[in-house]
Amino acid sequence: MTLIGRVDIWDAWRRLQGLSPVHRRELKILFVLTPLMLVSGAGVFLMLAEAWNERPLGLSFHIFYGAAHVLGIDPHDLFIFGSFLFIGLFVLISLDEYKQTNGVLLLGVTAIGAALLLQRGVFVEYVNWTQSPAVMVGGFLSGIGIGGLKRDSNGIYHDLTRSRPNASVREFDRAMPRVFYLVGIIAGVGLFERVFQYDSPIVYLGDRVVLQPFQFLSIELGETLPFVLATGVFLGTIYRFRSNLYDKEIIVLGATGSGKSSLMAGLDYSIEGYMSGGRRAAKPSEPLRKLSSRLGDGGLNAFPSTPKNQALPLEFSYKHGVLFPRKVTIRTLDYAGDHLQGLSPHESPGEVATDDIEEVFDIARYLLDNATPEGAEDAGSEWYDVDWFGDRDHIGTDPYSMEAFETPVGEARMGKAEIVEELVKDMVWHADSIGMLYPLEDYAFMTFERGTNPPYIEPDYDEERVEPFTRPRDVGAYQDTYHRIDNGEQYLDTDIFYIATFADLAVKDYDYFSDGASRGFGHLDRWDLFASHIKAEFLNAGDDRFGDSELTTDSYDLVPVYYPIENTSPIGSDEELEIDLNTADSRLPLHGSQELLDRMGE
């Protein structure tokens, strides 16, 4: 291919294809949506300028001036206040660590628009900008204020004055939606004034408001079609920015002993190493912080199974991306895996008891905060030491105070185990993305025939299954639940992917089949090919959803993860199972966490 300048087009294309999906997404936003936003934004401002100059006595003019008169405010001051309110919102967005580029772009559109309005004489002829500096400051501060204003059970507050749970970066997530709606209203009014010729039904005469018959005169769609298109494109690009900035909520589903706790702890333990590429993590929830701290002390033995009447809320967030990052929140209720087996996912909004996933976790926090060590011990949990439960903060939402969990007259009060199952179903309903755990213990029988099993794993021939760490699982039952979610029409827009846990069971097998027997146990040069091998040789034998997979790079729907085990003695011997947490390795402590966090961020 010929060079343009000194750039090989084919080489540039190959490099583009080699980028991670998140970088391709950011480049698409930068080189497609950004020019569209700047050009269409200029078109909208031009439309407002022409509407202002050509139709200065339209309905919006009379309403604006009439309202200013009723409120006793100078109309010029009201206009200045509104203009600087927008600037305050844009500056606040620029201070948001997830939306800085977007705020700068909005300020750029504002600068272009101001130049167009100035060139058309709008700023000079109609507004005296020097008469009210206090109004400018008031409008600017008001924009800063409403952009971070929120309300909860404790009253109204601003994001600048309160550090929210699990957040360690500046974030003003209400600012962009408010910009979208305000711009939509103003652009809609400007479009109406530019397209339609009419006699205003409301006329402001300086000291009173007069009503008269409303009469259409003409529609100038032909001349204003470019402005109609510019308005649609401008609002569309803002909405696209807004949707790309929405938090991504990811949940992890898994059966009994499939590795939910150890996966979440490993991801949290690995996040600092993952952040070295410029990403920033948010604080983990308190239960997850305790789990990840135990990981280094007790290895896999630090994660006992959870009883059916408990649900540990495990969650943390991280910043994914560079120019247009999003906050990715990974959550799971560390419930008893039995809840998943035979679970019937919700099929309609009427079945959902909670408003959003945050409320699901608020209820779980309440259940944990109000649990007792004695009750946990009686329920069969090993989570009953005083250190785990800690101080009684009385946090979260009491489910029995909610209408959805009220007990009908004459019926027994809903038990905690039933509430936990409802929370799991609600969590599935609210999630943007679902990671389904496939523990390779349930699919690793052939490794013993090939002699590729790790030295620390021996099969249980009496049970005809591999059970190195966990309680028995009903494989068919949790697969049926996965299939119901996969095939449910209500989950068509949910991003679903799969996580192969305990993937160390497949490392030697992959090494053998990839002609790497001589290179030694643990050689992994391509994580995508490792995933393809697991799909083809392990999961395909136990679940027909994976089909006849081949060794290709199209394996992004499956990510294998495992902890490197130091032991050489079989499990069950006197030697304790220990994890190698040596971060000097080229991979993070939980191998596959880099690939999994990248996949979750898409």
Q: What is the pLDDT of residues 117-152, one digit of tens each?
A: 777 766 555 667 777 788 889 989 988 888 877 666
Q: What is the reported pLDDT for 61?
A: 74
More confident residue, 82 or 323: 82
Token readout for 303 is 């994660």
Confidence of residue 419 (pLDDT cuts 50, 70, 90): confident
Q: What is the reported pLDDT for 560?
A: 93
Quick check: helix, strand or coil at residue 21?
helix
pLDDT above 80 for 491: yes
Q: What is the reported pLDDT for 135?
A: 87
Q: Report percent pLDDT > 70 for the chain.
A: 65
Helices (H), 29-74: 34-54, 59-71
- Mean local confidence (pLDDT), 35-45: 86
- Mean local confidence (pLDDT), 425-453: 85
Q: In terms of pTM, does the model score above 0.75?
A: no
**Per 3-state DSSP, what percentage of the chain is helix, strand, and coil (rounded to 5)?**
50, 15, 35
Token readout for 23 is 């970088």
Q: Among 371, 382, 379, 365, which residue's Cα sits nearest to residue 288?
A: 365
Confidence of residue 389 (pLDDT cuts 50, 70, 90): very low
pLDDT above 70 for 337: no
Q: Which of 99-113, 425-439, 452-466, 488-502 has the lowest mean pLDDT?
A: 452-466
pLDDT above 70 for 433: yes
Helices (H), 453-592: 475-487, 507-513, 527-534, 540-542
CA angle 520, 524, 529 (to 5 degrees): 130
Q: Among 441, 78, 32, which residue's Cα sits nearest to residue 254?
A: 441
Residue 84 CA to residue 226 CA, distance in Å, equals: 28
Quick check: helix, strand or coil at residue 330?
strand
pLDDT above 50 for 5: no
Q: What is the reported pLDDT for 127?
A: 66
* H and E: helices and strands count for the chain: 22, 14
405-415 b/e (C-beta count within 10 Å ≥ 16 → b) = beeeeeeeebe
Q: What is the reported pLDDT for 224?
A: 76
pLDDT above 90 for 358: no
- Mean local confidence (pLDDT), 242-248: 66
Query: Could you tell me where the beta strands, DSSP code E, fall in 404-494?
Result: 433-439
Confidence of residue 498 (pLDDT cuts 50, 70, 90): very high
- Per-chain mean pLDDT for the chain: 73
